[in-house]
């Protein structure tokens, strides 16, 4: 490779790096728009969760066929990226297959493994394209999965297929060139899958082959870099975010709702159990519950960036299954969309959160959050431990406590609890009536038995 | 008879106040819950459970008039203030009596007291009655004879979300049912994939949002399709929703919705 190619490569790398850095910084800022709660306790348990659920794909295996196909792509992604290391070194130093001479005949083995995985990735992606577009799978047909989200999924699958073909093409031609006397390509040994493509190119002139080989090489590396930037805008970001998301996921039983210490304090003051110190140091209570993304725990926004829009949550949601508007997947997509909107606005020096819009109402409708039965089916279903229920409950808190706009029958239930100490309107003095009834019933049974 | 109350003609229910006055403490506090106290159908579950405790000789007490809503529906509907007011009051009462161990038949009360009260100063050993019944059976304190009322009869168990997914209790209710010598048939959506009855998250207290079906009808259809003539539940909300579903399908003559405690009491002819 000439020096011009080397300069071009470093330039391409720098441009991609710049955009990637910009995006990562932006996403980090967007996530940190949320409340800065700390979740660093039980680090070994958290690490274990991350290894099992994200690295080990534990929860994917509830559905065996997609789990297997997904696993092939996952392993392919991780392992084939080792080859990218060689790409980058070759690009910078102007070498060709820098590891081939050093590794000698061993070099054939990793490259053959990469090729096997490339073929596995192609097969899996084709299967996923068919599942998504031809088979009538309900969770891929939902109302939130139109236009861009649908296109996003297809773009990812097609790009992955194309990139894998670029590798195979490059390797096929390389093998032809190794045998040509006028070139000095390092020996790779026989590469099983790509050698099947050799007949397609065999008759071509050496210069044409070199051209195509270079094209495939550039196509692959630019493709990967572009994809890396694209991923930050895409649902495909889960490939990175799944790791922090599983690490920071809740460790408590699913039934436990997050406490609100600010409310605890107020209640204690009201009951006279604690006096208001009035120092105001830790009094910073922005809002009760969540109206917008900045009211959410930051890890809920992180969850939104981790969401792959697979829709397993929605497929399990009882409200959604019975035709209600609620879709946990949409809750996560809305949260991410709102975070992106605010982020872009801030980037351009715009109004950000003060744009007159909010997550609740402009994205998530009240009818959606009201339909939730808090059954945790969505939480259980998520392969990477995202918790849509948390966002639903936080928005409910805003509606109930800041606006007092809960559905009328809920307000009635609230006043029953407040006045009668039960959600139903019964006299509290009747609470123990059942015991007297039991007394009567058992004594008459006794009488019957004696008669 | 081994019955601890064999001298009396009726079952008396001691309150914590009674016990405190006598200077004694119960083995367990039975947390009855609002449904268990007021709902006519669910009061039968409360009574069945008390009959079992009485029969087995578990020294228990209830709070009686001193009990109050745990605040679960308020919290799930978003009213954190009201929830915490309820929690603070209840914790004060419970701590006042130095309560250590609480058993309740309501998964919502169970979840709230077990998982949400500790952070607010209420730390107790909290047991759902399905686990408690299973323990009594395992310890041999509840003796189940084979060939009882339910021998060979088809029973399907409807998982309560607040027991199952919320607290990982899937097996205890099933083991209780197996002790009945019954033929336990599972619905397709069971255990971690259990389908909600539709009442959790304070849905019990308002009409459902518009949709194409009610959640409880969907679930009842699934339960009925197993061919079971008893739908076993372990939650007052599930009880109401499944009973309504069965009525809606005009099957109340053939299919019964029963709580675990009722099934045990019935089998033991209490």
Q: In the predicted model, what is the mean pLDDT of residues B242-255?
A: 97
CB A375 within 8 A of CB B196: yes
Decide if A410 and B206 are in contact by the 8 Å CB cutoff: yes
For the cut 80, the answer to whether the pLDDT of residue A334 exceeds it is: yes
pLDDT for res B2: 40
Taking CB atoms and an 8 Å cutoff, what residues of chain A touch B204? 423
**pLDDT grade for A2, boundaries at 50, 70 and 90:** confident
Chain A residues lying within 8 Å of B166, measured CB to CB: 253-255, 376
Look at residue B29 in the predicted model and tell me its pLDDT: 98
Region A144-160: mean pLDDT is 93
Range A127-149 average pLDDT: 90
Count Cβ–Cβ pairs < 8 Å, chain A vs chain B. Answer: 236
Tell me the pLDDT tens digit for each residue of B193-209: 999 999 999 999 999 99
Closest partner CB to B209 (pick from A371, A395, A417)? A371
Give B80's contacts in chain A (Cβ within 8 Å). 260, 263, 288-289, 397, 400-401
Q: Which residues contact A64 (CB under 8 A, 6 or more apart)?
A: none
Length of chain A: 451
**Helix orientation angle between B40-56 and B129-138, rounded to the nearest 10 degrees:** 30
What pLDDT shows up at residue A450? 54
A272 touches chain B (CB under 8 A): no
- Site of tokens 């959160």: A353
pLDDT at B152: 84
Q: What is the pLDDT of residue B136?
A: 96
How much of chain A exceeds pLDDT 70, in percent? 95
Band of residue A378 on the pLDDT scale cut at 50, 70, 90 = very high
- pLDDT for A285: 63
- Chain A residues with CB-CB distance to B201 below 8 A: 372-375
Q: What angle do CA A169, A175, A178 make, to 5 degrees?
A: 140
Q: In whole angstroms, what is the distance from residue A373 CA to residue B219 CA?
A: 14
Per-residue pLDDT at A141: 87
**Chain B, 68-107: which have a CB under 8 Å from a chain A CB?**
68-69, 71, 73-82, 84-86, 88
Mean pLDDT of A201-213: 91
The one-character DSSP state at B230 is E
Write the pLDDT tens digit of every residue in B7-36. Answer: 456 898 999 999 999 999 999 999 999 999
Give the number of other Cβ atoms within 10 Å of residue A84's Cβ.
Answer: 14
pLDDT of B145 > 80? The answer is no
**Residue B251 neighbours by CB under 8 Å, 6+ apart:** B224
- Mutation pick from B18, B38, B113 vs chain A, by most beta carbons of A within 10 Å, is B38
Of the candidates B120, B137, B134, B201, the residue with the CA atom closest to the CA atom of residue B166: B201
Per-residue pLDDT tens over the stretch B37-54: 999 999 999 999 999 999
Tell me, what's the pLDDT at A179?
87
Closest CA to A295 of A248, A344, A249, A260: A260
CA–CA min distance A229, chain B (Å): 37
Place B155 in a pLDDT band, splitting at 50, 70 and 90.
very high
For a pLDDT cut of 90, what percent of chain B falls above it? Answer: 90
Nearest-by-Cβ selection for B37 from A395, A431, A440: A431
Q: Which residues of A touch B211 (CB under 8 A)?
A: 319, 322-324, 371
pLDDT band of A76, cuts 50, 70, 90: very high
Cβ–Cβ below 8 Å for B84 and A373 = no
Give the pLDDT band of residue A271 (cuts 50, 70, 90). Answer: confident
Instruction: Name the token pair of A218.
Output: 């550039």
Residues 109-148 of A with CB under 8 A from B: none
pLDDT for A288 equals 95
pLDDT score for B230: 97
The string of pLDDT tens digits covering residues A228-243 is 999 999 999 999 999 9
Q: Is B68 strand, coil or helix? A: coil
Distance CA A265, CA A261 (A): 6
User: Which residue(s) pair with B15 in the sheet?
Assistant: B62
With contacts defined as CB-CB under 8 Å, which chain A residues touch B38?
A: 422, 424, 426, 430-431
CB contact under 8 A, B37 and A432: yes
Indicate whether B95 pLDDT > 70: yes
Average pLDDT over residues A71-86: 91
Contact B110, B30 (CB under 8 A): no
Residue with tokens 């102007």: A94
Degrees to nearest 5, angle at CA A304 with A303 and A306: 60
For residues A264-271, average pLDDT? 91
Note whether A267 contacts B88, CB cutoff 8 Å: yes
Mutant choice from B12, B77, B109 vs A, greatest count of A C-beta within 10 A: B77
Confidence of residue B4 (pLDDT cuts 50, 70, 90): very low
Q: Which of B15, B39, B82 sits opposite A418 (nearest CB)?
A: B82
B34–A264: do the CB atoms touch at under 8 Å? no
Residue of B9, B76, B195 with shortest CB distance to A374:
B76
pLDDT at position A247 over 50: yes
Residue of A nearest to B214 (CA): A322
Any A CB within 8 A of B17 CB: no
Smallest CA-to-CA distance from A417 within B141, B79, B24, B61 is with: B79
CB-CB under 8 Å, B119 with A409? no
CA distance A245 to A306: 7
| Contact flag A322-B214 (C-beta cutoff 8 Å) | yes
Interface pTM (ipTM) of the complex?
0.95
Strands B101-104 and B60-61: unpaired
Locate the chain B residue with the closest alpha carbon to A370. Answer: B209
Mean predicted lDDT score pLDDT of chain B: 94
Q: Return the higher-pLDDT residue of A209 and A450.
A: A209
Residue with more model confidence, A103 or B247: B247
pTM attached to this predicted model: 0.94
Q: Mutation test of the interface with chain B: which of A438, A440, A450, choosing the one with the most B Cβ atoms within 10 A?
A: A438
pLDDT at res. B7: 45
pLDDT score of A202? 87
- What confidence score (pLDDT) does residue A283 get? 55
How do residues A287-320 score in pLDDT, each as one tens digit? 999 999 999 999 999 999 999 999 999 999 999 9
- Name which of B69, B110, B105 is nearest A255 in CA terms: B110
């Amino acid at each position: 490779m000439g020096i011009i190619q080397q300069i071009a490569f470093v330039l391409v790398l720098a441009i991609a790096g710049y955009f990637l850095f910009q995006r990562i910084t932006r996403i980090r800022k967007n996530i940190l728009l949320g409340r800065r709660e700390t979740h660093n306790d039980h680090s070994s348990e958290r690490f274990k969760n991350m290894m099992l659920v994200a690295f080990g794909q534990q929860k994917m295996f509830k559905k065996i066929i997609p789990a297997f196909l997904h696993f092939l792509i996952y392993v392919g992604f991780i392992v084939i990226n080792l080859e990218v290391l060689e790409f980058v070194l070759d690009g910078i130093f102007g070498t060709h297959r820098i590891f081939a001479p050093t590794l000698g005949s061993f070099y054939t083995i990793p490259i053959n493994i990469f090729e096997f995985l490339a073929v596995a990735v192609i097969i899996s992606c084709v299967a996923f394209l068919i599942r998504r577009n031809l088979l009538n799978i309900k969770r891929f047909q939902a109302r939130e999965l139109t236009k861009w989200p649908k296109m996003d999924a297809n773009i990812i699958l097609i790009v992955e297929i194309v990139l894998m073909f670029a590798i195979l093409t490059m390797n096929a031609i390389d093998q032809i060139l190794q045998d040509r006397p006028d070139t000095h390509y390092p020996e790779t040994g026989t590469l099983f899958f790509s050698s099947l493509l050799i007949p397609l190119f065999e008759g071509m002139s050496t210069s044409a082959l070199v051209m195509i080989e270079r094209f495939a090489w550039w196509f692959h590396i630019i493709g990967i870099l572009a994809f890396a930037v694209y991923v930050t805008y895409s649902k495909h970001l889960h490939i990175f975010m799944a790791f922090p998301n599983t690490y920071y996921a809740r460790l408590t039983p699913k039934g436990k709702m997050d406490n609100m210490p600010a409310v605890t304090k107020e209640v204690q003051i009201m009951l006279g159990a604690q006096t208001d110190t009035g120092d105001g140091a830790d009094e910073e209570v922005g809002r009760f519950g969540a109206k917008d993304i900045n009211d959410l725990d930051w890890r809920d926004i992180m969850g939104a960036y981790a969401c792959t829009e697979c829709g397993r949550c929605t497929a399990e949601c009882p409200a959604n299954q019975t035709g209600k508007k609620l879709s946990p997947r949409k809750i996560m997509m809305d949260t991410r969309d709102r975070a992106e909107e605010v982020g872009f606005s801030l980037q351009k020096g715009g109004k950000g959160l003060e744009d007159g819009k909010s997550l609740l109402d402009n994205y998530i409708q009240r009818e959606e959050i009201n339909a939730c039965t808090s059954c945790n089916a969505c939480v259980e279903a998520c392969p990477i431990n995202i918790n849509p229920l948390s966002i639903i409950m936080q928005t409910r808190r805003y509606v109930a406590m800041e606006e007092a706009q809960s559905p009328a029958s809920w307000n009635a239930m609230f006043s029953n609890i407040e006045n009668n100490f039960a959600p139903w309107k019964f006299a509290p003095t009747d609470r123990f009536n059942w015991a007297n009834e039991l007394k009567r019933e058992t004594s008459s049974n006794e009488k019957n038995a004696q008669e | 008879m081994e019955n601890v109350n064999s001298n009396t003609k009726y079952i008396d229910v001691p309150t914590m106040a009674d016990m405190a006055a006598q200077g004694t403490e119960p083995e367990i506090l039975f947390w009855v819950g609002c449904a268990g106290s007021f709902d006519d159908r669910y009061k039968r579950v409360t009574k069945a459970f008390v009959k079992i405790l009485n029969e087995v000789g578990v020294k228990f007490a209830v709070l009686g008039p001193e009990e109050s809503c745990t605040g679960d529906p308020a919290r799930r509907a978003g009213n954190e203030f009201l929830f915490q007011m309820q929690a603070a009051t209840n914790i004060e009462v419970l701590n006042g009596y130095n309560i250590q161990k609480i058993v309740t038949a309501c998964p919502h009360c169970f979840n709230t007291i077990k998982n949400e009260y500790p952070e607010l100063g209420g730390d107790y050993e909290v047991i759902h009655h399905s686990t408690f019944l299973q323990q009594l059976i395992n310890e041999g304190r509840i003796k189940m004879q084979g060939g009882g009322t339910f021998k060979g009869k088809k029973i399907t168990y409807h998982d309560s979300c607040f027991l199952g997914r919320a607290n990982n209790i899937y097996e205890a209710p099933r083991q209780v049912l197996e002790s009945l010598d019954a033929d336990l048939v599972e619905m397709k959506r069971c255990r971690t994939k259990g389908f909600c009855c539709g009442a959790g998250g304070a849905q019990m207290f308002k009409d459902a949002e518009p949709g194409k079906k009610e959640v409880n009808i969907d679930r009842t259809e699934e339960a009925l399709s197993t061919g079971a003539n008893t739908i076993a539940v372990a939650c007052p909300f599930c009880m109401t929703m499944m009973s309504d579903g069965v009525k809606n399908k005009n099957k109340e003559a053939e299919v019964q919705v029963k709580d675990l405690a009722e099934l045990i009491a019935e089998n033991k002819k209490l």
